[in-house]
Each structure stands twice: as C-alpha cells, then as structure tokens.
Amino acid sequence: MLRAIGFLLFSLLPSLCLSQSCSFTATDMSFGPVDTLTGGPVNSTATISVSCTGDLLTQRRILICPGIGAGSGGASSAAARQMLNGTHTLNYQLYSDSGRSIVWGSNNWAYPAKPPAYAVNLNLLGFVNSSTTLYGTVLGSQGAAAPGPYLSAFATADTYFIYRYSADTTCDAPAGTLTGVSFNVNANVAPNCLVSVGNVDFGTRGVLSANVDATGSVTATCTAGTTYTISLGGGLANAAPTARKMSKAAETVTYGLYKDTNRSQPWGDATTPGSTVAGTGTGAAQVLTVYGRVPPQTTPTPGTYTDTVVVTLTY
C-alpha cells in the first residue's frame, strides 16, 4: 500500500511544475442590418475566451494584456475604426466597457487607447477558464454610407495577447508570452428611404377667373446610390394629374400638380406614363418641389376645399 501511494504522488508532481500557458479564442462581431438613415448608433458584442494552466508553486495570478489594432478596415481617427465595402467605409468602434466609453486599443497603433488589463487566477488544480466581452458600436449619422456588406478582418497581428505571472494592474508596458487570435467585424447596410411632405396651400381666393399657383414639397432621404421613384396619386377622386379635385361636400375645385415651375409636366403615378419623378439617394435629404395650379373655372360656393394625395416612394 505504501508503494502505491508513493507512485501516485510522483505522478502528480509534473502537473505542478508547469509554467503558465494560455490559449485564446474570439467570436466574430456581427452588427447585422444597419439602418444608417435613422442617425442612431447600433451596438453589438463579441466574446474573448481564455484558458490557462500554470504552476501553483510560482504564482496563481496571470496578467493578460489583450491588444486590438485597427483591423483590415483601418481607422480614420482615434474615435473610429472602419469596415470596408470596396472603397466605401462604415465607421465603428470597439470598447472594453458596457458603457462604450473606453476604446479598446493596442500598444502597436497610432492612437492613445491602450489594451485593458485583464487578470485571471488559477484554481487549486492549476488551471482557469474565463471570458470577457468586447463591446462594439456602429457610429450614428452615417447616411452617406452606401448599401452593402461591410467587413473588417482582424488577423493575429491585429489581435495580440501578452500574458505572464504578475501583480501589475496596467498594460502600459506589457511583457511576457505573445500569442494572437483572429476574428471579423461585419455589418450590412440595407437600401432604405424616408419620405416626408409639405402641403400645397392655395390660400384664400375669390372668383377663380385666373390661374392660382402654389407649391408644396416632397423630401426624399435615401441611402447613397439608392435609386428611387416618387409618384403622386390621383387624390380622393382618383383623377388624372391635371384634373384632381378639392371638395366641399358635393362641390369641387379642379387643380393639377406638376414637376416644373411652368406647370407643363404633370406629376402623377404609374397610370400616367412618364409622370413620376426619379432620383438617386445621397444619404442627405433631397427636397423636390411640387408645383400646384388651380386653373380658371366656375367658382363654387365659399368654403374650405381639400383633397388628400398619397405620395409613394419606391426604391
């Protein structure tokens, strides 16, 4: 029995003499569909996992300095990394805190942000498994970003991990064993358009013996490069573009809506070929003027005459 116990003790000793050894993995960060027209940021996360073994006779605490560089998309400034879609860019940033106020940086890049200090403690069996969250944000106000898939790839040269036994609490001057992982950051900007309108108000008029002109507006905001068409319906009477009807009970006032200041190009819908308006988005608001005209006609009884026209933007 004593010989058997001595053999077991001898078999356990090699596991207590190991220097620290750590391996790392990182999940991809996917922002999914990103609506750049709303102006707000879009958040996502990734997970960095670590598995370490070590020598309990030396120390239990392992300091890890995980540096993350600019990635294949580069960085436009200290405030923004970039994902790429060909020559198009989408700004985003990586952070070490859930409040997304501390940029996760690297000692190898040109900006002030440095790696966070991350420590793990070996358990009584000489190993530890742990993980930390990498926080990301696609920055807001990027309406000019073209639709399509965006990517920034982080190779092992971009994402390095330096670790060692240490009681230090910062990674200002990291030293130790160097390794790295790879992961991707991706997003997809979908084509999108927003539309708003300004009413056409012909004001207060007397006898309708001459043209009465007024203008309104249609504002289209579409992602850069997105083609669109805008059509104006026939109003409640479902009339032709130049024969729409404002009404008060059974009485009506005929009017037309046009694309040009001379009121020679009617603005209608697909039922009137060539009467819609086409454009290409820039990411900024594009204001299109609607030119209205009430032609001379028999004047109905006094009162307020109205119509409702449906504006349809197709992209």
Give how many domains the chain has, as a whole number: 2
Please answer whether residues 143 and 92 qualify as being in contact, where contact means their C-beta atoms are separated by less than 8 angstroms.
no
Separation between Cα atoms, residue 229 and residue 84, nearest integer Å: 28
Q: Checking phi first, is residue 263 left (phi over 0); if not, alpha (psi -120 to 50) or beta?
A: left
Same domain (yes/no): 210, 148: no
Helix (H, G, I), strand (E, B) or coil at 249: coil
Of 136, 183, 118, residue with least CA distance to 157: 183
CATH of the domain at 102: 2.60.40
Rounded Cα–Cα distance for residues 262 and 258 (Å): 8
User: Measured between alpha carbons, how far is 197 from 220 in angstroms, rounded to an integer?
Assistant: 9
Domain span holding position 25: 16-189
- Judgement on whether residues 173 and 211 belong to the same structural domain of the protein: no
User: Does 292 lie in the same domain as 206?
Assistant: yes
- For residues 211 and 183, membership in a common domain is answered with no
Q: Are 239 and 232 in contact (CB under 8 A)?
A: no
Given 137, 164, 189, the domain boundary residue is: 189
Choosing from 172, 189, 206, the residue where a domain stops is 189
C-alpha torsion 120→122→127→132, nearest 10: -20
Q: What is the mean pLDDT of the chain?
A: 92
Q: What is the pLDDT of residues 65-119, one digit of tens each?
A: 999 999 999 999 999 999 999 999 999 999 999 999 999 999 988 899 999 999 9
Q: Are residues 169 and 34 in the same domain?
A: yes
34 located within any domain: yes
The answer to whether position 5 is within a domain reads no
CB 235 within 8 A of CB 244: yes
- The predicted pLDDT at position 57 comes to 73
The pLDDT, as a whole number, for residue 3 is 30
Tell me 143's DSSP state: T
Mean pLDDT, residues 16-34: 87
Strands 88-95 and 21-26 come out as unpaired
Residue 35's Cα: distance from chain center in Å? 5
Residues 170 and 199 in one domain: no
- Residue 8 belongs to some domain of the structure: no
Please check whether residue 187 is in contact with residue 90, taking contact to mean a CB–CB distance below 8 angstroms.
yes
258 bridge partner residues: 266, 291
Residue 6 confidence (pLDDT): 34
Write b or e for each residue in 207-232: b if 16 or more Cβ atoms lie within 10 A of its Cβ, otherwise e: ebeeebeeebebebbbbbbbebebbb
In a domain? residue 3: no
Per-residue pLDDT, 17: 41
The reply to whether 184 and 200 lie within a common domain is no
Q: What is the DSSP letter of 96?
A: S
| 135 in the same domain as 97 | yes
164 pLDDT above the threshold of 80:
yes
Residue 1 located in a structural domain: no
Same domain for 55 and 155? yes
Least confident of 1-15, 44-58, 97-111, 174-188: 1-15
Asked if the model's pLDDT at residue 18 lies above 90, the reply is no
